Chain A
Amino acid sequence: MSLIKLTDVSKLYGFGDATTLALDEVSLKIEQNEFVAIMGPSGCGKSTLMNVIGLLDRPTHGKYLLSERSVARLTQSRRAKIRRDTIGFIFQSYNLLPRLTVLENVALPLAYRGMLPGKRTRLAMEMLEKVGMADRSYFYPPQLSGGQVQRVAIARALINDPRLIIADEPTGNLDSASSRLVMELLSEIHKAGNTILFVTHNPELTRYASRVVYMHDGSVIQDELTKVGEVALTALRQMYSIPEKTAEDDLAGISALMQAVPQKDLDKKPAAKKARKPRKKAVRSKQTYKPTASKARGK
């Protein structure tokens, strides 16, 4: 019984020529109590995947089963309730409400549950103690450092005791010390039995994960189970195989700039640009929108 089961999930944005494919038939299963790191370059669809899994966004195609139940036909309010009760969000930019105190921010999801203020405050205080922010409960978010704010955000994500925690680059805005603190915290939560999905660019942080999923251009290209405490293999390669910059690279950079200059003769386009073209995916739809493009992708 998997917590999350995606089958051929696609997400398209825009219309006509401007259509972009953010998720390209992604199939993914995530079991209870996994600690999954999602990696990939910017724009590869990691965040879209997180939003679909977090019920903030609906996929254009494909099936999504959350706890074995399809979420396709759920109403907005039903989705809001599931978000409230079973999913905790942690954002890169923290997203605390600046006009509420730390305590009120943490208690906010409880308020939407209809809990009475007294109980709300008590539970929020307990949660703040767990993340080590109890002494800052009456501060306002702008008065805290990034690491502190993110710990408050984690407390808020945990307050409703969610089964799934989705963290979209939780350490993206933090220095390495704060990052470690936040990851340790997530790791503790994981040990307590929660399922955690987090997006990261930092290969080091895959140490905490039990599984690493790599994405590229909307597809999952690699999915590896790792031991907690070790950097994932692919990530390791990424870390240690960064080639040193050569004179050639400099030239390439210059030539890339040259390509950006409008060409007089359209027929004499540099070959490099042609090769890159298929990456900008248009709709790979059944209506054979651009048959050459799909051929180029080898399908």
Chain B
Amino acid sequence: MSPTIYGNIKMAVSSLQTTKMRSFLTMLGIIIGVISVVTVVSIGEGIKQQVSQEINQLGRDMITIRPGDGIERGNGTGDTVKLFYGTAITGSLADTDVALVQKTAGVRYAVPVALVNGPIKVDDKTIGNPLVLATTEQMNGLLDEPVEYGEFFVQDDLADQPNVAIIGHNLADKLFGQRVPLGGSFEYLGQTFFVRGIMKKFDTTPLSVSTDFNDAILIPYSTAQALTNNNTQLYEILAKPQDSRQLDQTIAGVTGSLKAAHNGQQRFSVLRQDESLKVTNRILDLMTKMIAGVAAISLLVGGIGIMNVMLVSVAERTHEIGLRKALGASNRQVLAQFVTEASVLSLLGGIIGVIVSLILNFILRVSTPLTPVISWEAIVISVGASFIVGVIFGTAPALKAARKDPIEALRSH
């Protein structure tokens, strides 16, 4: 049969060319299906990569301790996820816990992070809800020297000038309209703060679990305590082990000593970066699968469209079928011709879909903060699926064509 495959494809293309509009409308279902599958998967893949990049930047060995049990460990089948954990629950961690973590064997840094509320004023500009984090100088080491311009505050200097701040990359521009506003000042909680340093740009993602340091203002912990009359609420404790290979032991040690201090109750969560990566990935996977499933229905609908058009085509070309049979085409050869036509139709739809989604990908990259990553797997699978859809839905009409009685087919015009 192989010598006729080329001829079948040629016939299919020329037959599609004569019914361009109809063929295009038929392909539309497949095209939309492929576009949605490829685009959704590549957006999901892009966010995953961004999250893992971000986590690599902060260090894979970073340990986050938050109040409340954000992640409940299920029994074996996987973790259940509470979205927005930690934000509402505060208060179960105290300053003493920071010291406790610091003292735990194997811990190199233990940094308290507290959220302080209040608007910021620069000249006549006001930011109503800034992310102000109170922390200690150890943050410098924990974030692996994040300051690009200026320097991090040092505890010893704070006696002279307690109101200093390190600001995030994005905030520098937002507040002062310049990239390096060193020595600039802003009003916060009735005090004047001076900018001592500007942090480098961190890779962040829209779906990140971690704090976005690009928009943060870091102020000394002691200053914040003085400003709020020792009423600072700890948001989290960030820690890093001395040896990143000892991460598991360190986490166990931290958990143990905190638990002992809280009378055996575990009202906190010890999170590791790869765990939060896992959580993000799980959410993304779920979303991607759901949307891709919906898109797959579109492929199915497209297949039904192909079947419909092929039935029309077979009916229209009854005479041609009769003639081909008179000339010696076997049922199988007629079948092959029409299955080829349906497959070419759907495969073409798949390819057009891929091309459009590549263009869409580029547009998303340029015009949104998303950086979708083209997943070749998704492309191959969706094009393959559309081809298979064509074969499956093309078979019934093709069988109808193949089974036509030659003389009756030849008589019809």
Residues of A bordering B, CB below 8 Å: 51, 54, 56-57, 76-77, 80-81, 83-85, 89, 95, 97, 99-100, 104, 108-109, 111-117, 120, 156, 160
Q: Are A56 and B328 in contact (CB under 8 A)?
A: no
Assess A114 versus B3: contact at CB under 8 Å? Given A80-B331, A99-B18: yes
Answer whether residue B407 sits at the interface, using C-beta atoms and an 8 A cutoff. Answer: yes
CA distance A111 to B11 in the complex (A): 12
23 contacts between A and B (CB under 8 A): A56-B326, A56-B406, A56-B410, A83-B325, A84-B327, A89-B326, A89-B327, A97-B320, A100-B14, A104-B7, A108-B327, A109-B327, A111-B3, A111-B4, A112-B324, A112-B327, A112-B328, A112-B330, A114-B1, A114-B3, A116-B3, A117-B3, A160-B328
Answer whether residue B225 sits at the interface, using C-beta atoms and an 8 A cutoff. Answer: no
Assess A80 versus B325: contact at CB under 8 Å? Given A56-B407, A112-B330, A116-B3: yes
Q: Are A85 and B328 in contact (CB under 8 A)?
A: yes
Q: Are B328 and A81 in contact (CB under 8 A)?
A: yes
Q: Are A114 and B326 in contact (CB under 8 A)?
A: no
Answer whether residue B259 sits at the interface, using C-beta atoms and an 8 A cutoff. Answer: no
Q: Are B328 and A83 in contact (CB under 8 A)?
A: yes
Q: In the complex, what residues of B have CB within 8 A of residue A160's CB? A: 328
Q: In the complex, what residues of A have CB within 8 A of residue B14's CB? A: 99-100
Q: Are A156 and B327 in contact (CB under 8 A)?
A: yes
CB-defined interface of B314-341 with A at 8 Å, one 1/0 digit per residue? 0000011001111111111100000000
CA distance A93 to B11 in the complex (A): 22
10 tightest Cβ-Cβ pairs between the two chains A and B: A84-B328, A56-B407, A80-B330, A77-B330, A57-B407, A112-B328, A83-B328, A109-B327, A112-B329, A99-B14
* A115 CB to nearest chain B CB (Å): 6
* B359 CB to nearest chain A CB (Å): 32
CB-defined interface of B289-333 with A at 8 Å, one 1/0 digit per residue? 000000000000000000000000000000110011111111111
CA distance A279 to B14 in the complex (A): 48
Q: In the complex, what residues of B have CB within 8 A of residue A100's CB? A: 11, 14
Answer whether residue B15 sits at the interface, using C-beta atoms and an 8 A cutoff. Answer: yes
Interface of chain A, main secondary structure = helix
Q: Which of A77, A99, A108 contacts B15 (CB 8 A)?
A: A99
Q: Are B323 and A97 in contact (CB under 8 A)?
A: yes
* A149 CB to nearest chain B CB (Å): 14
Answer whether residue B84 sits at the interface, using C-beta atoms and an 8 A cutoff. Answer: no
* A170 CB to nearest chain B CB (Å): 15
Q: In the complex, what residues of B have CB within 8 A of residue A56's CB? A: 325-326, 406-407, 410
Q: Are A112 and B15 in contact (CB under 8 A)?
A: no
CA distance A128 to B331 in the complex (A): 28
Answer whether residue B6 sits at the interface, using C-beta atoms and an 8 A cutoff. Answer: yes
Q: In the complex, what residues of B have CB within 8 A of residue A108's CB? A: 324, 327
* A107 CB to nearest chain B CB (Å): 9
Q: Are A83 and B4 in contact (CB under 8 A)?
A: no
Q: In the complex, what residues of A have CB within 8 A of residue B320's CB? A: 97
Q: In the complex, what residues of A have CB within 8 A of residue B333's CB? A: 112
Q: Are A77 and B332 in contact (CB under 8 A)?
A: yes
Q: Are B406 and A81 in contact (CB under 8 A)?
A: no
CA distance A230 to B298 in the complex (A): 70
Q: In the complex, what residues of B have CB within 8 A of residue A84's CB? A: 327-329
* A176 CB to nearest chain B CB (Å): 26
* B301 CB to nearest chain A CB (Å): 30
CA distance A47 to B79 in the complex (A): 78
Q: Which of B15, B319, B327 contacts A83 (CB 8 A)?
A: B327
Q: Are B332 and A115 in contact (CB under 8 A)?
A: no
Q: Are B410 and A112 in contact (CB under 8 A)?
A: no
Q: In the complex, what residues of A have CB within 8 A of residue B323's CB? A: 95, 97
Q: Which residue of A lies closest to B333 (CB)?
A: A112
CA distance A113 to B2 in the complex (A): 11
Q: Which residue of B lies closest to A157 (CB)?
A: B327
* A11 CB to nearest chain B CB (Å): 11
Name B1-58 residues within 8 Å CB distance of A: 1-4, 6-7, 11, 14-15, 18
Q: In the complex, what residues of A have CB within 8 A of residue B410's CB? A: 56, 95
* A156 CB to nearest chain B CB (Å): 7
Q: Are A114 and B4 in contact (CB under 8 A)?
A: yes
Q: Which of A97, A113, A116, A120 contacts B328 (CB 8 A)?
A: A113
Q: Are A80 and B329 in contact (CB under 8 A)?
A: yes
Q: Which residue of B lies closest to A51 (CB)?
A: B407
Q: Which residue of A lies closest to B18 (CB)?
A: A99
CA distance A237 to B222 in the complex (A): 129
Assess A112 versus B18: contact at CB under 8 Å? Given A77-B330, A95-B323: no
* A154 CB to nearest chain B CB (Å): 13
Q: Are B3 and A83 in contact (CB under 8 A)?
A: no
Q: Are A80 and B6 in contact (CB under 8 A)?
A: no
CB-defined interface of B377-413 with A at 8 Å, one 1/0 digit per residue? 0000000000000000000000000000011001000
* A39 CB to nearest chain B CB (Å): 22
Q: In the complex, what residues of B have CB within 8 A of residue A120's CB? A: 3
* B372 CB to nearest chain A CB (Å): 41
Assess A77 versus B331: contact at CB under 8 Å? Given A99-B15, A112-B4: yes
Q: In the complex, what residues of B have CB within 8 A of residue A81's CB? A: 328, 330
Q: Which residue of B lies closest to A93 (CB)?
A: B413
Assess A83 versus B18: contact at CB under 8 Å? Given A56-B407, A56-B410: no
Q: Are A117 and B327 in contact (CB under 8 A)?
A: no
Beyond A56-B326, A108-B324: 17 further Cβ-contacts under 8 Å? A54-B326, A56-B406, A56-B407, A56-B410, A76-B330, A80-B328, A83-B326, A85-B328, A97-B320, A111-B4, A112-B328, A112-B333, A114-B3, A115-B3, A117-B6, A117-B7, A156-B327
